[in-house]
Amino acid sequence: MTNDREIRSTGPLLVAAGLVVIAAIAKAAQAGIIDAGAALAFVAFIALGEILRITLPGGRQSAPLAAAGALAFALLPAPDRINDLPYSVALAVSVVTVGSIVGAFPSALVGRGMHLDELARRVLTTLFAATMFGQIYPHVMPTGTETAWQLALAMTITAALAAAVDAVLAAAVRGTQSHAPFRTAVVDEFRALLGISSAIAATGVLIALATPKMGLWALPVFAVPLLLTQFAFRRYAAIDATYLQTIRSLSKVTEVGGYTETGHSRRVSRLAVTIGREMGVSERDLTDLEYAALMHDIGQLSLQEPIPGGATTMVSYVDQRRIAELGAEVIRQAGVLDRAALIVERQADPYRPHRGQLDGTLPLESRIIKAVNAYDDLVGASLESDRKLRAIERLQLGIDREFDPGVVDTLSRIIERQTEYAY
């Protein structure tokens, strides 16, 4: 299933990038390289940046130094942008491609893959940036007397547009792979632009501006701030991962105490996040959903006697509500998980409240956990397809009152896909 999805999402991107690379290398080879030393320096710089790639929160892979080097080479102001724009673009694409592939080899040799989708996006973004800047550059120097601020402005505009193009391409890939709505994927990617992408764009522009004056010394000088920023993001990602691992460990307390079945919270969490992503929940809210799903049963620790099998859906609404409220109160004690606490607190509430039950806007995340928790109570760790389908049918009987029809419908599609690819 995952391989088919990856092929559908990255196939057209890889084909487009491949055709661009072939054409670029042919053009650059035909014309020859004017400054081989500079080209090789940027190849090495991009390769090093690719080797030093990091994993950002949300699972994004990024090679900030390589991306900055690619952007800088695409923006280098030179006379050949006026005399022979196709050659200038071809050389930029060729250098970026060679540097990216050289830097990706060590990762491929140790079995981590080459991140082909990101490499393809880098090629297409370089093509766009070099072409766009080649069109803008003559207009900022009509008489050959352009000012530094005009050149910087042209580079900044080009860098911003290139970042936007890369975000749209990334959203298309991630949306296809995760079945997330394209609009939500685009919003998430543009939010990410405020982070590491802004540092990448700034570094690329600074290197491009400084290289004609400083020569190749501009590469190490302006790489240092980005490396420090990259280190900070790496630390943040490590802290975020540790935080999530701590919550996962805490969620097992109910299993150790015999209040829930082994693996229940992890199964609910994984399925809830999958449903949330497919229903358009943003990455920011998906984090709260994951935390809430992992800890949705923590209120059971207040019970004197465990519920058989930990199946809270089998007890009365009053008991379900009490477990949810106690669990939310425990989570609030952390002081930083108020949103997750609210989701847990409302997880027992029906989609359409009965008389005397709590009314008001019910968070989508709470509706998702309610349905997924009921589903896992019925299925557990079983891999039997018939049992899964019967559980879905049980949930569909309750969509008039208990469960959100949209959530159940999304859950049904996900289970059907899993069942289909299991054979």
What is the C-alpha to C-alpha distance for residues 253 and 260, in angstroms, rounded to an integer?
9
What is the C-alpha to C-alpha distance for residues 5 and 10, in angstroms, rounded to an integer?
9
What amino acid occupies position 409?
A: D
Residues β-bridged to residue 55: 61
Which residue intervals of 179-282 are DSSP H helices?
A: 182-192, 198-214, 218-251, 253-256, 264-278
CA 291 to chain centre: 17
User: Average pLDDT, stretch 351-377?
Assistant: 81
What is the C-alpha to C-alpha distance for residues 28 and 41, in angstroms, rounded to an integer?
17
Lowest mean pLDDT among 52-56, 245-249, 322-326, 354-358: 354-358
Query: Given this model, what pLDDT does residue 421 score?
Result: 59
Query: Given this model, what pLDDT does residue 82 score?
Result: 46
What is the C-alpha to C-alpha distance for residues 3 and 313, in angstroms, rounded to an integer?
36
pTM of the entire predicted model: 0.83
Rg from Cα positions in the chain: 26
Per-residue pLDDT of 203-238, as tens digits, reads 999 999 898 888 889 999 999 999 998 888 888 888
Higher pLDDT among residues 107 and 90, named by residue: 90
